[in-house]
A and B are shown apart, each in its own frame.
Chain A
Amino acid sequence: MIEIKNLTKRFGDFTAVDHLSLTINTGEFFGLLGPNGAGKTTTISMMSTVLLPSEGEIRIDGQLLDRKASSQKRKLSVITQEYSMRQDMTIDEVMEYQGRLYHLPQKTIAEKSDELLEFVGLKEYHRRTVRHLSGGMKRKVMICRALLIEPEILLLDEPTAGMDALSRRQMWNLLRQVNGRDMTIILTTHYIEEAQALCDRVALINRGSLQKLDTPLNLIDELGAYAVDETTEDGLKSRFFSDRDEAISYLSQAGAMASFRATTLEDVFVECAGRKIS
């Protein structure tokens, strides 16, 4: 279990994360959503100890996570938003370096690397330097690197950014598989449908503070499971209804420029983020 208590990060006068408190259960697929600059990456960076909090703390299974906590860090693996790898290393060397940093035996590193690279279709490029890989391939190497050590907790900061639709679907399947092995996954993403498809619970954060925390289904129900989109002079506006008949009744009065659909997590996100921004 991961406990985040009053986590705060300030950069000078700017507060990137503001007294964030969350509890993430073992084996949970947890989404951290928010607009650009909401503090998602800063939170992930604090969870990976790259940044130290200005206030508050993170505990894993009751033990404080800091840069000295080797036993806690052994449980963690992270896929950062940026391609955080030695650009002049080959894929094989990146994997070996990761394995060595986590004290894995050479045989295990070689076997697991082969298996993972084969799975993501990079086996034939194993001697190519990272610098000469496409963005999507680099992302796949980072995923293989993170999974090599079989972590208990996987931190994913925009893991599918730069991937094509097919690769993204493959990635979803892979994440579902590893989550099925009781791996706790914390995901930040700009693709809201990704969070809706994968996450058990999501936290919506804005300007560093927690706005909403629940299952995607509950968040949608709270807003209203049915949506009517209307095209007005001010642009597209959506109205949400808990009752289907009420939504259809509204639609019939709204005229030809309106349409009916199911509410999505993206609507919850837009309502939450949009309201705060305005």
Chain B
Amino acid sequence: MGIITVLWEKWVEFRRDFYKITVSAMISPLMYLVIFGMGIQTTSHGEPYLHFLIPGIVAMATMTGSFSAICQNMSVQRLYEKALDQVMVSPTPLWQFILGQIIGGSLRGLYAGCIILFLTWPIRTDLIFNGLSLFIMFLNGTVFSTIALVLSFLAKSYSDAPRFTSFIITPMSFLCNTFFSTDQIPAGFRQLISLLPLSQTSAMIRAIANEEAPGIFGFLVLGAYLVVFGSISVIFIYKKKNL
């Protein structure tokens, strides 16, 4: 019941800000596709670079879509609007509230990813996106929604949300298998980068796009992030003394 309430709230927000949400989900990925994929004509592993880039951009779009939907929103609700107080005092079980936020955030990420798929659809790339790709996009969204929840509970001021984006999302966007393969990164740093969720999501979506099976390791990494950050956010909402 609580999950439906949160999803209803997310739907109200989505319906009201439909154009803003849609356009902002398009702008950055579209720029990357045009500049790196079409403007700078190059190849990767003997294939047009665009074939490498599109799965990475799709993964990145799900990450930024989910993260920004939750981090900004929850920080504002908690610190500025104090609207979280309304939820805290209500009988809605708080774990349901958290789960609703995670699902709502990942649906927003999935929407952002689907916009990129829709925009790149006219380009004949022969890349494959199927139900499993959508599931991985959704899973990636759940991971970044939980990370966003934890960070929004840690935020001390309204301006912390954009800082989290600068410190976490932007470096991950560039380093994690989006624009270039992590194989080219020096050993040690490469292993570290490959343990980040976006690297695994990009790799799995790219594998499916190229008619290969995604490795089980990627699911395990995303699952581990989801469990760890999901648990922290539940602990925070129940135990944090000064929410």
Contacts and interface: CB of A to CB of B under 8 A. Distances in A.
Contact of A97 (B85, B86, B91): B86
A49 B81 contact: no
Given A52-B239, A96-B8, 5 more contacts: A48-B85, A70-B92, A85-B83, A86-B81, A101-B5
A74 B91 CA distance: 5
B48 interface: no
Q: How large is the interface on A (under 10, 10 to 19, 20 to 34, 35 or more residues)?
A: 20 to 34
Contacts of A217: none
A158 interface: no
Q: How large is the interface on B (under 10, 10 to 19, 20 to 34, 35 or more residues)?
A: 20 to 34
| Chain A contact surface mostly | loop
A109 to B, nearest CB: 12
A73 B91 contact: yes
Contacts of B5: 97, 100-101
B8 A100 contact: yes
A84 B94 contact: no
Interface in B1-33: 1-2, 4-5, 8-9, 12-13, 16
B238 interface: yes
Contact of A86 (B83, B92, B239, B241): B83
Interface of B: 1-2, 4-5, 8-9, 12-13, 16, 77, 81-83, 85-94, 237-243
Interface of A: 11, 48-52, 54, 67-68, 70-71, 73-74, 76-78, 80, 82-89, 93, 96-98, 100-103, 145
Report which residue of A48, A80, A100 has the largest number of chain B beta carbons within 10 angstroms of its beta carbon. Answer: A100
A103 B2 CA distance: 8
Given A51-B243, A88-B13, A67 B90 contact: no
